[in-house]
Amino acid sequence: MEIHKKIALLRKKRGKTQAEMAALMDITQQTYARIEKGQNKNMPLHRLEQVAVILETPLHVLINEENDLLDQDDIMNIVEELLLYQQRYKELLNEKKVLEEELLKIKYDNMW
């Protein structure tokens, strides 16, 4: 993901507005909006560092295009959801087994 898209996503995730970000960075809202639109291709490192600090995100997460934006809460939510799906899968397997046994019983009963 491109840096400007990560910045916009993280800003929204952190519940900040563009105006708040601009004020914290001591720039205009229009200048900040250009950052999120990817129109500021040669953003100085100190600006990227400001963004990272404000968004409580390591700088390397913003710079590395392959880096994920999942935080610990996101990961825990995914794990919990996977565990629920795993439990439901086991329940469905048990239901399938019961239904197969019932079907065999019905077939056997109908043979006589």
Q: Are residues 24 and 55 in the same domain?
A: yes
**What residues of the chain score a pLDDT lower than 70?**
65-71
> What is the four-CA torsion angle of 57, 63, 67, 72, rounded to 10 degrees?
0
- Percent helix, strand and coil across the chain, each to the nearest 5: 75, 0, 25
Q: Are residues 83 and 103 in the same domain?
A: yes
Q: Supply the pTM of this predicted model.
A: 0.58
Per the structure, the complete domain to which residue 105 belongs is given by 70-112
* pLDDT reported for residue 100: 96
Categorise residue 62: left if φ over 0, alpha if ψ from -120 to 50, beta otherwise: alpha
* pLDDT reported for residue 63: 83
Q: Are residues 43 and 59 in the same domain?
A: yes
